[in-house]
């Protein structure tokens, strides 16, 4: 795929920017480098320095750029953060090409319009206005990879910021919130469990170790733990789902009806309230495996093994109502309602690095990841107004 736009000429509206970003298939399993390199070229044409941080394979990159303050300062200031990857469209029934955004009925349809190339497109559209403003403090642009598979890219970028001493004073993560302020979200922890049994002919079941059956016991224990959190808490009723949740989402095992399966693997996740330590949850699952499941398996065969592999984790976001960024976003959006959400974002990672963060962006989260994903054009315009007000708030006043 060739570059979709000439970096020496930027689109005249945010909608055109969003359309161009949508045309890059940056599904998390794919590389995002074409998008990143073309956006980098555009920003460099605007006279900005950019920093790329890559994944281990070199196929993906984060991009960080700074619009410096009027006096040249590049540290402090506010980060505008968005991810460049999107979820797959496999098996979904779309009314139009998901990677060719189109406007219908005052909505912009396409994969990522809502989550979250809409916000990224608006920030790129407003770069010339940021440059034209005499800023008292810098504004930073942070575009990450692999948020959709567990916030994998952002930690690489944040570690680089820490090493370079950039230390922003606040961060706005533009996930879809219908342009309302979100002050907290849950943590997310994802694991793969591999249960290794012992194969045998199904007529000789006592000579085998049925990996699927023992995996089922672990899965049931995870569900029991989920039921405990649902019935006993702790609770935070400011959240849309006010308790910690657990679920098993994928499972694979077995090769034939007449064979005792020697392998079963499944993925599970849990989403903890910000005040709930995620480690004891994992420890309880490990203890069930070590004290209940493994001894039973090894009575059947001594070589039985259960493995747990961490796939991804990202911390929850705690409310920071007294933080300057929270007060600023609440003032600009005229929104004082306390909202907390079950989905995860990169905001918790910025907060963990000492950068107070809040979530506010165009689109409704209910449209994310679905076929015919869309963002309302009114939301895009509202985001433009919000970010223009934010830029003005950072201008030199005297």
The verdict on 231 and 283 lying in the same domain is yes
pLDDT value of position 2 = 42
Query: What per-residue confidence (pLDDT) applies to 10?
Result: 62
Of 284, 314, 344, the residue that ends a domain is 314
Task: Tell me the C-alpha distance between 265 and 150, whole Å.
Answer: 19
| Domain assignment present for 9 | no
- Residue 64 covered by a domain: yes
For 24-38, the DSSP string reads S--BTTS--HHHHHH
CATH number at residue 18: 3.40.630.10
- Angle (deg, nearest 10), helices 211-232 and 278-288: 140
Q: Of residues 25, 38, 85, 146, which has the active-site annotation? A: 85
* pLDDT in the model for residue 219: 98
Active site annotation includes 106:
no
> For residue range 296-352, what is the model confidence (pLDDT) as tens digits?
999 999 999 999 999 989 999 999 999 999 999 999 999 999 999 999 999 999 999
Of the candidates 363, 369, 373, 371, the residue with the CA atom closest to the CA atom of residue 109: 373
Q: Is the predicted pLDDT of residue 397 greater than 90, yes or no? A: no
Pick the last residue of a domain from 314, 347, 378.
Answer: 314
Which neighbouring-strand residues pair with 187?
272
- Do 144 and 40 lie in one domain? The reply is yes
300 has catalytic annotation: no
Does residue 39 fall inside a structural domain?
A: yes
pLDDT band at 142 (very low <50, low <70, confident <90, very high): very high
pLDDT(3) > 60 = no
State which residues form the domain around 59.
14-184+317-393
Average predicted confidence (pLDDT) for the chain: 95
| CA dist 354 → 317, 323, 347 (Å) | 12, 11, 11
Residue 228 and residue 327 in one domain: no
Are 163 and 209 contained in the same domain?
no
What was the pLDDT predicted at 20?
Answer: 95
SS3 381: helix
Question: Does one domain contain both 140 and 261?
Answer: no
Task: Taking each helix axis as running N to C, give the angle between helix 117-125 and helix 14-22, from 0 to 180 degrees, rounded to the nearest 10.
Answer: 130
Of 314, 347, 369, which closes a domain? 314
* Residue 112 vs residues 115, 118, 175: alpha-carbon distances, Å: 5, 7, 11
d(CA 398, CA 380): 31
Nearest Cα neighbor of 156 from 258, 54, 253 is 54
Q: What is the pLDDT of residues 84-138, one digit of tens each?
A: 999 999 999 999 999 999 999 999 999 999 999 999 999 999 999 999 999 999 9
In this prediction, residue 1 has a pLDDT band, given cuts at 50, 70 and 90, of very low
Q: Are residues 323 and 241 in the same domain?
A: no
Q: What is the pLDDT of residue 213?
A: 98
pLDDT (mean) for 32-42? 97
Assess whether pLDDT exceeds 80 at residue 292: yes
Res 7 pLDDT > 60: no
Angle formed at CA 235 by CA 230 and CA 241, multiple of 5 degrees: 65
Over residues 220-267, the pLDDT tens digits come to 999 999 999 999 999 999 998 999 999 999 999 999 999 999 999 999
State the pLDDT at residue 157: 98
Domain for residue 257, yes or no? yes
* Catalytic option among 38, 146, 147, 376: 147
Nearest to 387 by CA among 329, 335, 347, 321: 329
**Stretch 208-229: mean pLDDT, rounded?**
98
Give the mean pLDDT of 197-205: 95
């Amino acid at each position: 795929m060739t570059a979709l736009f000439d970096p020496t000429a930027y689109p005249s509206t945010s909608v055109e920017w969003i359309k161009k970003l949508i045309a890059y298939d940056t599904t998390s399993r794919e590389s995002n480098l074409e998008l990143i390199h073309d956006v980098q070229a555009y920003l460099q044409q605007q006279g900005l320095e950019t920093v790329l941080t890559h994944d281990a394979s070199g196929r993906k990159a984060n991009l960080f750029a700074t619009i410096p303050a009027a006096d040249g300062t590049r540290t402090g200031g506010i980060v505008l953060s968005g991810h460049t990857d999107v979820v797959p469209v496999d098996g979904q029934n779309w009314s139009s090409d998901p990677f060719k955004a189109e406007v219908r009925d005052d909505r912009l349809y396409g994969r990522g319009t809502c989550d979250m190339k809409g916000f990224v497109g608006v920030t790129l559209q407003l770069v010339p206005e940021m440059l034209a403003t005499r800023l008292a403090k810098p504004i930073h642009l942070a575009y990450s990879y692999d948020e959709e598979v567990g916030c994998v890219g952002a930690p690489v970028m944040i570690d680089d910021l820490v090493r370079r001493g950039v230390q922003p004073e606040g961060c706005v993560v533009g996930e879809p919130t219908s342009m309302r302020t979100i002050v907290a979200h849950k943590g997310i922890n994802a694991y793969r469990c591999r249960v290794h049994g012992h194969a045998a002919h199904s007529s000789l079941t006592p000579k085998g170790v049925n990996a699927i059956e023992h995996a089922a016991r672990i899965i049931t224990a995870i569900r029991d733990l989920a039921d405990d959190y649902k019935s006993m808490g702790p609770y935070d009723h400011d959240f849309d789902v006010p308790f910690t949740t657990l679920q098993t989402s994928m499972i694979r095992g077995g090769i034939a009806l007449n064979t005792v399966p020697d392998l079963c693997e499944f993925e599970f996740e849990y989403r903890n309230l910000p005040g709930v330590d995620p480690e004891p949850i994992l420890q309880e699952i490990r203890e069930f495996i070590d004290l209940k499941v493994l001894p039973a398996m090894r009575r059947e065969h001594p070589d039985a093994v259960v493995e747990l592999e961490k796939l991804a984790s990202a911390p929850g976001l705690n409310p920071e109502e007294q933080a300057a960024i929270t007060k600023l976003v609440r003032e600009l959006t005229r929104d004082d309602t306390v909202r907390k959400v079950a989905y995860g974002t990169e905001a918790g990672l910025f907060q963990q690095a000492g950068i107070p963060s809040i979530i506010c962006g165009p689109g409704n989260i209910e449209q994310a990841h679905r076929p015919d994903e869309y963002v309302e054009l009114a939301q895009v315009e509202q985001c433009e107004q919000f970010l223009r007000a934010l830029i003005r708030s950072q201008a030199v006043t005297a």
